[in-house]
Structure 1
């Protein structure tokens, strides 16, 4: 799966605020209870003037199009084709067919995964070519997939947001993967895996960059800058992989913590600050290059649970603040994002994380800010039997989907819906829902 958490429920502080924060850290470190949220000053103390929320003529009706593991594109069969020409033709036709279908459904924005791991789907001077295109890391596919996507989508009146996974280097740690990464040493550019081996850690059974290393964050910002400066993308989006650990495969950043963690009451606070710095740096970078390019993040749907924080939602799900060390609410408050797209992948009846409870909680978060709110909806669950979420199979999942879209379109603070993910539109179990979407959104 492209984003495992999808399957589970800079601004400067004023001097006085800094003192309060220091006391909050001190108090938190003396208590066994989870740390309370810090009150973040709203936009007047942002590092730079906020870009005013542009008037959108229509709500975002989006879809994520994943390239990691070739989940949505390119077709696996194209990589095993007879010739480069046939591969290119098959990949390009598959993409235009998808765009034609999305257009007919009323989709107006595609969130296209251009950096699925430590490789690129454009001719980068920083990253090697993605093996998703040819089967071999660093092999030129013979065309520019990002430019092709932009040309074809814009031709159809659709917007494209370049979707980046910031820290993932590989999707596994198998010997064959290590060998393939090592073979890039003779390439220009080579993989970060061989160029900066000291930045690489293992977490969640993947190779990842250590978010605590400042140079690694600079490197990520430079990749985003390359795309924004060279391509007419409408937006840039990061997904929910920041500190992406699993129970049996945690990120060992003890050495980095010892080197850079001075002044923080806990490793958790330091980790959240690392993520905060990345978001702030990328936000500034994008706006300096092209203020019209939107920057957004699609985090796990729960910021914090109310049981851990009075400012949190009435939920009992995995929380971005505590699990991936992403203080997503703070980023909204500080004006670092043009939009936030929380993944609300549960039905109205899921007691631990009700869709309506979370959608309304996020609406309140963005209300006093300039940040737009798009809601990520779990198309991948439609039609799939589930003992905990049976609503997805009732009448093909259409009643649940209708309730979610009705709420999104009736809540003034919600500016759009994004479906996860594109290939699920083509599955037999979703066809009742697809027909409903076409009747509701299609022209």
Structure 2
């Protein structure tokens, strides 16, 4: 529910209310009780990013295929759906777990291609086909890499799990370069970001795709160091390679910085040599830092990528290491720890004056999942709020299944308003 606010000579705005209680929505929960002011109407743009993530890990959005004909049929259906809904950017996960959705000299075929790691679809290059079909429909193809993850969740020990991998897998070949982090009763395995050979391997992996495929962008997600505290899991690496005598936290941030910086440099060098315009984008966790812990942080009280994942996303933006950034703002206006309005404003302010494009990542999977997400207009309201900021140049939704194969009615209703009203007409990418 909204109440009008008169702004003579300006775009009409309104106060946002909770549709269940009728109360005004506070800007930042207990940190700021001022009212959220939102444009009365969505102002469509003919030039904005309208993106979607297609997650292949655990086959979330795309199934296993034994035959090329079946893969092609399903992907064409996916691409046609995106085109009909006026999406213009497909972010497809081609490296979900230290593997590949393409024939690679460095990485094994992903188990999420044909059901078994190291086994692809005979005589078929999925990545080449997907890029071709995406471009046929006038959309961009962004190649999504998870740089470090070996497996996100397993009951097996490190040694037991590595034995299940293809003999070609970098993690199996070099187990000493793999970190094992306990998460409850399970284990998470990732390539050790502090190891020089890991850094080289990730860059080689990206370069292989750059050199062989007509991708429009290289895209990293939010998985750097784990979301869980890793204690001293990398203490021996720290002691061996901390030449600048940094603190453990600063050393970890430096490791991630170097992956971002060197990927940026490599892509720029490739573009210059090959006369291309491949972009580099990252989609990090939505909170860089909380203001109470860092003067430059946002009015939030949640997990912080700066100190938990050691991802200094603000630094990357300020140094122009990224062509675009898509912070994952997977919360509502009324989420106490991470209120949407405060975060959207923080990111718009952070991007201002830089060369980095800002798109917002939205949670299409969230409507109906909790009491906080009962408002069917939540996502549409977020897009309306975005139009307050010229710095916000588009939106991206996680993920394909929730948009086109919703689990329940509320998910469907939430996206219908955006697709059928806000995105009624096509837009080109910025």
Q: Which moved more, 1:377-386 or 1:161-170?
A: 377-386
Are 2:404 and 1:420 aligned?
Answer: no
Relative to the length of structure 1, the TM-score reads 0.79
SS in 1 for 2:87: coil
Relative to the length of structure 2, the TM-score reads 0.81
SS in 2 for 1:171: strand
Map Cα deviations across residues 3-42 of structure 1 (whole Å, 9 max, x no partner). Answer: xxxxxxxxxxxxxxxxxxxxxxxxxxxxxxxxxxxxxxxx
Residue 285 of structure 1: aligned partner? 266
* Higher helix fraction (1 or 2): 1
Matching residue within 340, 348, 373 for 2:333: 348
Residue 140 of structure 2: aligned partner? 159
CA spacing shift, 1:129–1:365, aligned 2, 3 Å: same
Matching residue within 158, 167, 172 for 1:194: 172
Matching residue within 98, 103, 107 for 1:127: 107
What residue ranges of structure 2 are gaps of 5+ in the alignment? 1-44, 426-430
> Superposed, which structure 2 residues align to 1:15-414 within 5 Å?
58-75=47-64, 78=65, 84-85=66-67, 88-142=68-122, 143-175=124-156, 181-182=162-163, 190-203=168-181, 204=183, 205-247=187-229, 252-290=233-271, 292-386=277-371, 389=372, 392-394=373-375, 397=376, 399-414=377-392
Q: Which runs of 4+ in 1 moved over 6 A?
A: none
Paired positions, count: 368
What residue ranges of structure 1 are gaps of 5+ in the alignment? 1-55, 79-83
* Higher strand fraction (1 or 2): 2
Alpha-carbon shift at residue 250 of structure 1 (Å): 5.0
Distance in 1 separating the partners of 2:232 and 2:81? 41
Map Cα deviations across residues 407-441 of structure 1 (whole Å, 9 max, x no partner). Answer: 22331000110001111011133111232122121
SS in 2 for 1:415: strand
Q: Is the 8 A contact 2:158 2:180 kept in 1?
A: no
Alpha-carbon shift at residue 179 of structure 1 (Å): 5.9
Q: CA RMSD in A?
A: 2.0
Alpha-carbon shift at residue 385 of structure 1 (Å): 2.6
Alpha-carbon shift at residue 152 of structure 1 (Å): 1.1
CA spacing shift, 1:96–1:185, aligned 2, 3 Å: closer
Residue 41 of structure 2: aligned partner? none
Distance in 2 separating the partners of 1:385 and 1:309? 30
Distance in 2 separating the partners of 1:245 and 1:202? 13
Map Cα deviations across residues 238-258 of structure 1 (whole Å, 9 max, x no partner). Answer: 1111101425x6561010010
Map Cα deviations across residues 278-314 of structure 1 (whole Å, 9 max, x no partner). Answer: 1001111111112511101111111010001111111
Distance in 2 separating the partners of 1:180 and 1:319? 30
SS in 2 for 1:351: coil
